Amino acid sequence: MDPAEEIEQAAFALQKPMNDVIERGDSSVQQFYRDATVFVTGGSGFIGKQLIEKLLRSCAIKKIYVLMRPRKGRTIQERLNHTLKEPVYDNLRSRQPQFADKIVPVEGDVADIRLGLSEKDWNTLADEVTFIFHVAATIRFDEPLRKATLTNVRSTREALALARECKSLIKFVHVSTAFAFVTKDRIGEKLEEQFYTSPMSPETIISLAETVDESRLDAITQNLIGNWPNTYTFTKAISEELIRTTAGDLPVCIVRPAMVLPSYIEPAPGWLDIRTVIGPSGIIIACGLGVVKVFQTDVNSDVAVVPVDLVNNAIIAAAWDSSKRPRENGQVPIYAISRSTRYGYFGDILRKYSYKKMSIPAAVWRAETIEVKNQYLYVVLAFFLNYIPAIILDIICFIIRKKPKGVTSFVDLYRKVDKLGDAYKYFINNSWSFKTDNLEAMFQNMSEVDRIIFNCDFLPVDIIEYTLIWGMGVRRYILKDGLKNTEYAFKKQQVFKVLNYIVLVLYAYVIWWVMKTVFQFVSSFV
């Protein structure tokens, strides 16, 4: 068996305790959702897809309405049918072949008034829905403020408006982020599971988004967001303020996941989708392929992360737990789910284990990346190790009239990598810790069976084991190499290691010779 397949099979074995009890359907959380009618926003996103899958696989759900919009010439039903063919639903499909009959798309747009729903669909949801999971959000850190506000803030207002009209609402779960309040003046602090002062009133920012010209709004964005690092965290913070001030007596709770990574064991170990390449998984791919030789980060900083399946287990369980506990002073319960790990530890694990167990057959060079904290040193090293080789390769491609796959040029590829690095720089070069008292108390209150089915405790997980599962998932679901030829890929890396030393020596000599020649040429005119 291929070494990568061995990792996958060992991870699949972790599902056995859950599979042994999940079919019984008699746990407290499962009973809580029996015959539930659910409405999900963001159901086509990374978290949303796995949330739908887990609800249907673990609970006797009656129906799930999913907010969708027509796209690329496809109707919402065609989009849903296409989505349900994705690997995230393979496990569920094998157990419940007719699961799709319980999923009903409703046409709308989360950024529109009344979520873009028709009067008929709005009324249908109000009559039937018992649970609302508001997952939809734009997670682009550089999203223009207008779009971020309409998608992240106004959508929350409209979802709450729907919740108020639901005749049999049991719980409204708002999915926020642990990073909503990681402002520049809170670096190094521990954030509580509580509300913090909002940067702006929800009414004000919504009014600005609705009435101010977009170019003018873009021009004042930096002044508006202040201590917040980007429009994503800024608008997610305001969304929480909107819930705090307007939810009233609605049965609401908030779940704050940290940086969401590929699954640990559900629906399959290491599952992720193409959307995740704009995050840490994209960095792993670029480094594993031997494309990126230098990356800017502080390896000693802590990064708060959590696998997507543990996030959704927490989301599902939080609705149950918050329904049992009385509100203290009218406060909305908040559940943070996070585990802080030294960023460099992930790199250490990959360097130690990945060559023999996880080498990528499609790698084009030695999978070895220099991690640099200093901005100026990074610029210098990136110029010589990333951009100059990219320019040479682009010239070669131009001569042979062949373009690199997926990008317009190799230089463009490194610009994208730098853009990705810039987006995450604030989060991987600074550290915060997050109190998870409510989450831990919830886990302790769960029965043994519910802890197995809806595990949301990341602390006991072996990070080495999880990192290898993550790397395996990147190969299985993004690179799609079938987890084959790892031993061949390892031998290839050994050859690349020798070639890398030779090329670096020759490259250093050429740079020295060019600089010497230029210096002599300039000196001749002095």
Reported as a single tens digit per residue, the pLDDT across 361-378 is 988 888 888 888 888 998
| 98 vs 324, higher pLDDT | 98
The Cα 436–Cα 160 span in angstroms is 25
Mean pLDDT calculated for residue range 68-74: 87
Check residue 205 and give its pLDDT.
96
> Worst-scoring range by mean pLDDT, 143-157, 162-176, 232-246, 344-358?
344-358
pLDDT band at 349 (very low <50, low <70, confident <90, very high): confident
Write the CATH number for 129: 3.40.50.720
Phi, psi at 69, each rounded to 5°: -125, 150
Residue 168 covered by a domain: yes
Please indicate, yes or no, if residue 133 is contained in any of the structural domains. yes
In the numeric block, which tokens belong to residue 464?
């080495």
Position 388 in a domain: no
* Whole-number pLDDT of residue 350: 80
Instruction: Name the residue among 14, 235, 260 with its Cα closest to residue 111.
Output: 235
Model confidence at 316, in pLDDT bands (50, 70, 90)?
Answer: very high
Tell me the average pLDDT across 321-343.
Answer: 85
- % of the chain at pLDDT higher than 90: 63
Is it the case that residue 320 has pLDDT exceeding 70?
A: yes
Contact (Cβ atoms closer than 8 angstroms) between residue 292 and residue 349: no
Q: How far is CA 404 from CA 248, 390, 395, 413, 505, in A?
A: 55, 11, 12, 9, 26
For residue 337, the cross-strand partners are: 257
196: left (phi over 0), alpha (psi -120 to 50) or beta: beta
Q: Is the dihedral of CA 12, 18, 20, 25 positive or negative?
A: negative
Copy the structure tokens of residue 168: 């049999």
The domain of 323 spans: 17-273+303-342+432-479
- Within 8 A by CB and 6+ apart from 417, the residues are 283, 286, 291, 292, 295, 386
pLDDT, averaged across the chain: 91
Beta strands per DSSP E along 115-220: 131-134, 171-175, 190-191
Residue 386 belongs to a domain:
no
Residue 20: how many CB atoms within 10 A of its CB? 11
Joined tokens for residue 420: 């990705």
- In tens, the pLDDT along 411-458 reads 888 888 888 888 888 888 888 999 999 999 999 999 999 999 999 999
Say how far apart CA 387 and CA 413 lie, in whole Å: 10
CA angle, 491 as apex, 490 and 496 as ends, to 5°? 95
pLDDT over 70 at 191, yes or no: yes
Span 489-502, average pLDDT:
91
Helices (H), 201-342: 202-211, 214-219, 221-225, 231-246, 280-288, 308-324
CA–CA dist 67, 85 (Å, integer): 18
In a domain, 311, yes or no: yes
Instruction: For residue 177, give the 3-state DSSP assignment.
Output: coil
Per-residue model confidence as pLDDT tens digits over 397-416? 888 877 777 677 888 888 88
Asked whether residue 502 carries a pLDDT value surpassing 80, the answer given is: yes
In a domain, 213, yes or no: yes
Any idea what DSSP says for residue 59? Answer: S
pLDDT at residue 200, as a whole number: 94
Angle, helices 155-165/119-128, rounded to nearest 10 degrees: 60
Name the residue among 27, 3, 11, 84 with its Cα closest to residue 452: 27
Whether 190 maps to a domain, the answer reads: yes
Digit-coded pLDDT (tens) for 22-45: 988 889 999 999 999 999 999 999
Q: Is 55 helix (H, G, I), strand (E, B) or coil?
A: helix
> DSSP assignment, residue 95?
H
Sequential DSSP letters for 388-426: HHHHHHHHHHHHHT-PPTTSS-HHHHHHHHHHHHHHHHH
What φ, ψ does residue 61 adopt, rounded to 5°? -75, 140
pLDDT given at position 329:
66
pLDDT band at 515 (very low <50, low <70, confident <90, very high): confident
CB 116 within 8 A of CB 69: yes
Secondary structure class of 24 (helix, strand, coil): coil
Q: How far apart are CA 251 and CA 173, in angstroms?
A: 9
Residue 268 falls within a domain, yes or no? yes
Whole-angstrom distance, CA of residue 238 vs CA of residue 180 = 9
- pLDDT of 333: 94
**Number of structural domains the chain divides into:** 1
